[in-house]
Structure 1
Amino acid sequence: IALECILLLILQQIAAPGPQESADDSPGIALAWKAHQIIRSRFHLPLSTAVLAKELHCNADYLGRVYRRTFRLTLTEAIHRQRVLAAEKLLISNSLSLTEVARQCGFSDTSYFRQIFRKHTGLTPAGWKQRYCKEHINS
């Protein structure tokens, strides 16, 4: 949790308007942070740029632009990252099936979950679990 706080402080500094940015950007930054909080708390539910924009009462393209400018990620990348982080924890802490891990992390399709997990970690979920167990449990 301490690392998450440090990361949030760093991101706030990065996102703070610099001399080249106008104060007019602050509503966009606030919107990006609201989207960020929704992603962190509701990643396991059906989430998309359109869903976030509707909930935040704004245009999806605008939300995507301000989010990317603030966090250097697209909304989809942020959702996937949050889901993969949750999946990593579930894979090592439970004996759930891959389908159940995928479902609990917001993926309705197990093969798509595998694809996104591999893209973000460089390993399949099974490979990641094996590697984690080998490095942390057998040492």
Structure 2
Amino acid sequence: MDALRTTPTPRTTPDLPLHRLQVPLPHLLPFAIGSFDTIGPLSRAGFPHRHSFYEIVHVTGGRGAHVLDLVHRPLAPPQLCVITPGQVHYWSDADELTGQVVLFNEDFLLRNPQDLAALRTLATRPALGLGEQAGPIGALLADMEHEYCSRQPGYQGVLRASLHILIVRALRAGRPGERQSPPGRPTEVASAFTRLIAGPGGVRYSVASSAQELGVSPGHLQTLVKQATGRTPGGLIRRQQTLEAKRLLACTDLTIRQVSKEAGFADPAYFCRFFRRETGMTPGEFRARVDGNHHDPRIASIAAAPDCP
């Protein structure tokens, strides 16, 4: 049975097609792993769409490219592609894809803010070369697939622990030799903040409303996020608003006024000034340039976000 289903929406509505995780009984876990064939045809969808879940794709073979938040990267197996909820991605001219697809919801993750933050870091790259981690990651994923299919006693715990190890090894592949920062209050708050503004309706959060949602003062939020990320909460909110606007301009037929509203702006004129300040282009210029040209640095710059905590 396919593990993915989609909620189709007309192209002229604010929402892109949304893929949801559908796990068949008797697993009852918000988790699935398998090949592109066993997960289903939507695992290699060639049209822009979003996910309501996390996806880690281990590509071991095939041709084509992966496009993540407008950044187009030709496939060069073995590699990992990490997609977080809300990101827009698709496979371009992909053929004969092989490997494993791992799907899971946030509540399946270990209660460790480092894992969520790490996934957001990894998702800033359309493709992650594995280097010396290729062997260990391949063996780990094969073991995870066996655990998932055999469902031996305790398999849920094995899968959760293995997922944590997979995330750590993926970080090592992206940052060879670099030590990871220890967990702590600044990291926890900053991770919760970045998830909040990247989630549904996140572009409508201000620094003050974000602080209220997280149970801290705006000044304390400013200090903790700056300490953990090197950026201010306001700067991260502006980056998220710009990214959401880029997604909608590139992947829907919404008017500039509609994009402005969906990106969290009440005044379309202010949105146009904001977008030009952040990208160097008006929304209309960006939409005209983005079609078929993901290599313009002004188009790709927002997707190449700095590492999250």
Same fold (TM over 0.5): yes
Instruction: Select 1:85's aligned residue among 218, 243, 255.
Output: 243
Which AA in structure 2 matches 1:59? Answer: S
Match of 2:202 in 1: 43
State TM-score, norm by structure 1: 0.77
**Aligned: 1:99 with 2:257:** yes
Give 1:7 deviation, angstroms.
5.0
In the TM superposition, what is the alpha-carbon distance from 1:115 to its structure 2 partner? 2.0
Which one of the candidate residues 181, 186, 194 is aligned to 1:16? 181
Amino acid at match of 1:129: R
Larger Rg: 2
Cα offset, 1:75, TM superposition: 1.0
Partner SS for 2:284? helix
Q: 2: CA distance between counterparts of 1:16 and 1:7?
A: 18
Instruction: Write the letter of the residue equivalent to 2:181.
Output: A
Runs of 4 or more consecutive aligned structure 1 residues displaced over 3 Å after TM superposition: 7-10
Do the aligned partners of 2:260 and 2:271 also contact (CA within 8 Å) in 1? yes
Bigger Cα displacement from structure 2, 116-125 vs 30-39: 116-125
Per the alignment, residue 164 of structure 2 pairs with: none
**Contact 1:43–1:105 under 8 Å retained in 2:** no
Is 1:111 aligned with 2:269? yes
With normalisation by structure 2, the TM-score equals 0.37
How many Å separate the matches in 1 of 2:180 and 2:265?
A: 29
The verdict on how the C-alpha distance between 1:15 and 1:108 changes in structure 2, with shifts beyond 3 A counting, is farther
Aligned length: 126
Shift of 1:96: 1.1
**Where do 1:57-96 residues align within 5 Å?**
57-96=215-254
> Post-superposition shift, 1:64?
0.9
Amino acid at match of 2:260: A
Whichever residue aligns with residue 293 of structure 2, its letter is E
Aligned to 1:20: none
Equivalent residue letter for 1:16: S
Which has more strand, going by share of residues? 2
Please report the RMSD computed on the Cα atoms of aligned residues, expressed in angstroms.
2.5
1:65 positional shift: 1.2
> Which one-letter code corresponds to 1:113 in the other structure?
F
The secondary structure found in structure 1 opposite 2:293 is helix
Amino acid at match of 2:207: T
Corresponding residue number in structure 2 for 1:56: 214
Matched residues in 2 for 1:94 and 1:105: separation? 13
Q: Which has the higher helix share?
A: 1
Residue pair 2:249, 2:287 contacting (<8 A) in 1 also: yes
Cα offset, 1:28, TM superposition: 2.0
Q: Where does residue 108 of structure 2 map in the other structure?
A: none
